[in-house]
Amino acid sequence: MQGKLIIFSAPSGSGKSTIINYLLQYPDLKLSFSISATSRPPRGTEQNGIEYYFLSPDEFRARIKKGDFLEYEEVYKDRFYGTLKEEVEHLLKAGRNVVLDVDVVGGVNIKKMYGNLAKSIFIQPPGLTELRKRLENRGTDTQDVIENRLQKAEYELSFAPKFDTVIVNDNLEKAQQEALQIVTKFIHES
């Protein structure tokens, strides 16, 4: 049986990765996380094919020209991120339900491509003030990076109505349960 796609998008700091990791703990959902491609070099102990598929900027551009990506974005000059079609199609054909973690534009576009085979879920922070607190509490970004992420978040929030479902993450356990119910129901629909 062909699998389905579950598309997650959210501003940075919304709790999307935490919610995805929670869902991946349920083997009966047959979820597989789609590994993205990037043109950035590996960090620390990251390995090709585990965290990302690492490509040079030139390889990434060549694969864009060949039409190998469902979606991609050049975040900074020569710093690409994208979802490889072959990765997703291979998992779907194997009967796996594929979880995608993509930007809002990619999420909207993939939903259009796959229609009813895909469920798009937007994870929304309770507000920009709370988002600022979360980003600052992470302790991983400079103030400039936090300001840029907040500006981008305002833009990303405008896409929420284009998603099938919006989960407001004002309480992590509640948001995880809501995501689990939505994904379980979607997977079991015929």
Please enumerate in sequence order all residues whose Cβ is within 8 A of that of 109, keeping only pairs 6 or more positions apart, or say none. Answer: 70, 71
Beta-bridge mates of residue 5: 98, 118
**Residue 174: which of 22, 28, 30, 17 has the closest Cα?**
22
pLDDT at 43: 85
Output the CA angle 170-129-135, nearest 5 degrees.
80
**Residue 102: which of 46, 34, 150, 42 has the closest Cα?**
34
Which tens digit of pLDDT belongs to each residue from 143-167?
998 888 888 899 999 999 999 999 9
pLDDT at 44: 87
Q: In the chain, how long is the greatest CA-to-CA distance?
A: 48
Tell me which residue range forms the domain holding 120: 5-188
- pTM, full prediction: 0.90
Q: What CATH number is associated with residue 64? A: 3.40.50.300
Q: Residue 140: pLDDT band by 50, 70, 90 thresholds? A: confident
Total number of domains constituting the chain: 1
Task: Tokens 């003030």: give the residue.
Answer: 129
Report for 74-78, 101-105, 143-147: range of highest mean pLDDT:
101-105
